[in-house]
Structure 1
């Protein structure tokens, strides 16, 4: 007898699913049986692509085919229909509902959204629901159970370092021209702001019988703090000291014939009265220049070659008896160096050979004037110091310009200590950039900072004690983990030995009690044989 009601139809389908699951999983290995039965049950009970249609006309068998075609035409406009089942009741007529199966779950969802409450005629309106929804609604408990409300936990504040105490995002509401007029700078070629002061430095090339010039302008007063005229200038590069105390202008000059180029540095002492300027002439080509972030020194890379260059260190206050004059400290000859990277704390510097030098890295101590170590990061393209000055990152990044394919191999980054000891190496495909998170300014006041410096030895003892405690905890955790693994291995070994012994006993029983691996079952006999290999007679004289 065919099922007539919806509940009977649902129970019938469940019995069929269980039957098919048992049938398909027959004669399988135990581990595979559970997996296959679960997969087959999910497959047989997957009604995500089926919808139930109610509100259909009740017709006899003669009109069944016509109604079926009408329903199929309507639902076929949404997506491909796999099957439509319109069951008959005990009276020989349809029950007023049908089951429609699509090839995709998305089509079933679209049918519920678009065809539900669709008027088939004046007396019949189709009600469309997902089969899974009807089954879920039937399992709804009769009594209401309130959901559990989790205790509120304040999330981590990711905007701690904003200047607004209320931690609100900040923006500039408007930007207007200062005093509603521009700063006049005829022929300006390049300009840079001081990192710490409202001072703008710019340079303008020669033109109309006017020499090239470098100007320092204070804002908002627009007062020209200092100006220096330059002659026979081909190019200028401006380098501000990170503290804003000095400005270096690298001037590339040419001879009157414009066939020979030479370099000199114009060094401005910005924080001194009248901003004195010193000139430092260098006969060789300048490849790189870098200020020491916290100090008065700077370093240059110079030379005419491409592979072996010289590195010179200068001090702005290196004169005799502390006189404030530019002094050459020392020069390192024949170094594989093309770029200079000072530590944010000063003293330590990385002499990096990038580009054609293929990533040679020399970690140098400027105070001791000695090399700490020499390392290599092949094809290194970027060097970045950690803001704390403790770690250096070197990276091979893919550029986005025409040299893209030159750096497609060996992408990734390496972390080093400031002494050149490798900490970590990571390979990353399609690696484009490496940046350290900016370090916030100190939260200590000047008095607190001075107190820390004064009592640094006391704090060092406390920190050393904490480090030793953490190290002991780490070693104890490693020992506990090692003991746990040893115990697990020992238990597994004993279990396997017991299993092997039991199987061995069964094997010996099958052989009638003869154990081929038992040495007591064998008799050891030793035989000695003497073989005469050669006999030789010699006659000896008396």
Structure 2
């Protein structure tokens, strides 16, 4: 399949959108919007432009500022030796906020001349013909309610349908070494040398192409409205671009490949730069309130998963302690902050409902490193902070989804201590400690309760499936497996778990295994040059809470029905019938859409044929335009005449 290859390369774009420019004015820049000054203050104004607007101004060949009656006009004409310098200064000066009353506008003289000579009569641009993209949610209508997963083998992207012990190809694409699913599962984006292609709908047809050479990584915003691409090309002016997924338009570029993080609802995006947090309004990509958030030397931050709140921490500075802060955006109201001394490092862990956020703090005191947790209880009055001392460093902290429990893991030699904490009577209590083998990570089911303790890329590592029941007496290990892995991923419903191995040092184990939540092996596949396994995400359910409760109440009834369907599904003949029905349905819809298109295109001919009557409109309005009756006026009987022989 050629979905990722059927795109326009840069030479074609340059030829298609090439704009012929007039010559002679490329090295001149016009700047307006400057403060009105007297001749005596011109040199001071020029020095400010050089220092604050752009140092390129120092390389100007000439700069002319007109005066009338001892006052300037707020305009400046600048000449440079080359068009390259002129463009550089124009970009720096354009839209520069000089002060609270003055914002500059700058253009190269060629552009000004083009605007001045523009035709007065407006010519409406030709709109491209609308192209139907199809149903982007079609995969959710699968009759078997199957999941999809994806992985890369060599340089080929594979997408498969999956249920139980069966997997079949849904889509394949060569020359793709990196891809991502959008957070709601609507789109699949893959990378080529010069662009990122976004596909979706039936057959994963290309929807949009984002041209950005030498892209190294890319990611969607949580609500799929925006895409960020990062490159390592130092020859380009910008290395990071923010795109509008709905239109494919580039919103803004940034220098460097600084990592951005979106708020939960796509309203804001932020990054840490120059020891500060820069928050941008995504709709315009303008800096919030035209200024960054500065509170000491900010090292890192994380957005709340349910609100426009950021949690960040600043490093220790001379005579200034470290600080951990919760702040509302856009008001910048501080919900709660706490000063800490001797801090070396902080890690931030949000609970998925945004009720708690834990800071794991590393402190260095007299050559001894100590560790503790600072847990902010955001939904409680005045946002109290609880501190938990840790006996040693932890390699991971994982909150249970939807609940107020978390597990920490501490590696001691070739063993791991796992600690389960729960909120009881307003404070977190240690419920139980598990002393296990070599385990690095903790993975909660998306629905809570069930948990996996897993090692990482080590032949001695183990994977354990646990039932961490809220009743302490019913906590138990379901199964322990000796299977080294590179990662563990739960499927969104919590029914399936994949353990995959992509490490070169575990080459003989490359591939993946799929288990149910109890640890029973359902499906496995060995893959050479394996990498990048991912489940296709699903959007949140649209069922109201009362219907969900009703389904849980009658779960036994549904379970019997689904078990029968599972039994039938294993029957090859049944699968063939379902596939035939699906194929016939798709063929019928294909014929229907083609016929409807022909019918719509012939509408003007039908209206002309019926003397201007639009029967389509009449049918839609349920009205009768004419009533035809046949009446016999005269009847004649003639004898039969045989034809000539």
Counterpart in 2 of 1:280? Answer: 388
Sort the Cα spacing of 1:296 and 1:476 in 2 relative to 1 into closer, same or farther, 3 A.
same
Q: Is 1:350 the equivalent of 2:452?
A: yes
Counterpart in 1 of 2:541? Answer: 442
Counterpart in 2 of 1:253? Answer: 363
Sort the Cα spacing of 1:335 and 1:359 in 2 relative to 1 into closer, same or farther, 3 A.
closer
Greater strand content? 2
Q: Give the length in aligned residue pairs.
A: 308
Sort the Cα spacing of 1:183 and 1:471 in 2 relative to 1 into closer, same or farther, 3 A.
same
Distance 2:337 2:551 in 1: 46
Identify which of 561, 579, 586 aligns with 1:465. 561
Q: How big is the shift at 1:337?
A: 1.4
Is the CA contact (8 Å cut-off) linking 1:389 and 1:418 kept in structure 2? yes
Per-residue Cα deviation, 1:278-332 (whole angstroms, up to 9, x for no partner) = 00001123222111122110001124x23112111001x22xxxx1111010111
* Structure 1 residue matching 2:297: 3-state secondary structure: coil
Distance 2:436 2:570 in 1: 45
Instruction: Note the aligned Cα RMSD (angstroms).
Output: 2.9
* TM norm structure 2: 0.45
Distance 1:203 1:169 in 2: 34
Distance 2:531 2:570 in 1: 36
How do 1:334-483 residues align onto structure 2 when only pairs under 5 Å count?
Answer: 334-356=436-458, 358-367=460-469, 368-378=474-484, 380-398=485-503, 405-444=504-543, 448-454=544-550, 456-458=552-554, 460-465=556-561, 467-468=563-564, 471=567, 474=570, 477=573
List alignment gaps of at least 5 residues for structure 2.
1-131, 139-183, 187-222, 225-244, 252-282, 578-645
Distance 1:214 1:473 in 2: 54
* Structure 1 residue matching 2:306: 3-state secondary structure: coil
Q: How big is the shift at 1:470?
A: 5.6
Counterpart in 1 of 2:376? Answer: 268
Q: Of the two structures, which has the highest relative contact order with CA contacts closer than 8 Å and spacing of 6 or more?
A: 2
* TM norm structure 1: 0.53
Distance 1:421 1:358 in 2: 21
How do 1:143-542 residues align onto structure 2 when only pairs under 5 Å count?
Answer: 157-159=135-137, 169=246, 174-255=284-365, 257=366, 259-303=367-411, 305-315=412-422, 317-318=423-424, 323-356=425-458, 358-367=460-469, 368-378=474-484, 380-398=485-503, 405-444=504-543, 448-454=544-550, 456-458=552-554, 460-465=556-561, 467-468=563-564, 471=567, 474=570, 477=573
Sort the Cα spacing of 1:184 and 1:267 in 2 relative to 1 into closer, same or farther, 3 A.
same
Per-residue Cα deviation, 1:219-273 (whole angstroms, up to 9, x for no partner) = 1001111101111212111111122111110011122x2x211111001111222
Distance 2:467 2:562 in 1: 29
Sort the Cα spacing of 1:334 and 1:414 in 2 relative to 1 into closer, same or farther, 3 A.
closer
Greater helix content? 1
Sort the Cα spacing of 1:285 and 1:426 in 2 relative to 1 into closer, same or farther, 3 A.
same
Distance 1:473 1:216 in 2: 51
Is the CA contact (8 Å cut-off) linking 1:337 and 1:357 kept in structure 2? no
Per-residue Cα deviation, 1:179-198 (whole angstroms, up to 9, x for no partner) = 22222232001111111111
Q: How big is the shift at 1:459?
A: 5.3
List alignment gaps of at least 5 residues for structure 1.
1-153, 399-404, 482-542
Is the CA contact (8 Å cut-off) linking 1:336 and 1:357 kept in structure 2? no
Is the CA contact (8 Å cut-off) linking 1:307 and 1:357 kept in structure 2? no
